[in-house]
Amino acid sequence: MDSQGQVEPRVVWAVVESGIGPLLLAASRDGLVNVVFHATDAVRDRAVERLASRFGTEPVEAPGAPLLAEAIRQVEAYFAGRRRDFDLPLDWSLISGFNREVLRELATGVPYGTVVGYGDLAGRVGQPGAAQAVGTAMGANPLPVVVPCHRVVESGGGIGGFGGGLETKRKLLALEGVLPEPLF
């Protein structure tokens, strides 16, 4: 319950503008649980429906909820170039097993402005040779940007894939100084 004796919603969400378009941020009582790219009305509605199904309760739009407000503040600071790391509690309940292990390593072991190869990341979690499985984990990342799957690239120098689209990945890597800013 909150300070007025009201039951707090189990999942809250908001859409925030960013340098890569609108992002839906969702938080549970345990932490930030989901970040969704290109959060137009239709994408937002599908994401909220998936969260409702997963959590068994209707998510509530509440950008002022404390955890969500802090996540919004940090995301805005990141895109403004004033923040390099996110300091938020994360709810990992939307991912499990190998994928969770890989994403946790990514979140703690690949700092701002650096990249790692899919195979290198597989080796870091004790699964050398599992580069393709790492790619699958990146595609399943429920917390992109905050858990920086854009920092994972091909070992031969290619940019690799990205759930938010390759242009979005390029913009994020340019923001972090890994790639040059696009000319236009």
Average pLDDT across the chain, whole number: 93
Q: What mean pLDDT comes out for the span 58-62?
A: 96
CA-CA distance, 119 to 117, in Å (whole number)? 5
Tokens (6 digits) for 53? 């199904």
pLDDT at 142: 98
Could you list the active site residues?
A: 149
How many other β-carbons are positioned within 10 Å of the β-carbon of residue 77? Answer: 13
Q: In this predicted structure, what is the pLDDT of residue 180?
A: 84
Domain coordinates of the chain in residue numbers? 11-80, 97-176
Under the banding of pLDDT at 50, 70 and 90, the label for residue 1 is very low
- Judged by average pLDDT, the poorest of 4-8, 31-35, 146-150 is 4-8
Q: pLDDT digits over 85-106, tens only?
A: 999 999 999 999 999 999 999 9
Angle between helices 131-139 and 97-109 (to 10 degrees): 90
Token pair of 138, please?
A: 């990146």
Which of helix, strand or coil describes residue 6?
coil
Cα(51)–Cα(59) distance, integer angstroms? 7
Third-level CATH fold of 97-176? Arc Repressor Mutant, subunit A (1.10.10)
User: What is the tens place of the pLDDT at every residue in 80-89?
Assistant: 999 999 999 9
Query: Is the torsion defined by CA of 32, 36, 39, 42 positive or negative?
Result: negative
pLDDT recorded at residue 155: 83
Share of the chain above pLDDT 70, in %: 94
Q: Other CB atoms closer than 10 Å to residue 155's CB: what's the count?
A: 12
| Secondary structure letter of residue 7 according to DSSP | P
Region 101-118: what's the mean pLDDT? 96
Give the span between the Cα atoms of 74 and 72, in whole angstroms: 5
pLDDT at 42: 97
Query: Is residue 31 left, alpha or beta, with left meaning phi > 0 and alpha meaning psi from -120 to 50?
Result: left
pTM for the model: 0.91
Helices (H), 34-177: 41-55, 66-79, 97-109, 118-124, 131-139, 166-175
User: Is residue 25 over pLDDT 90?
Assistant: yes
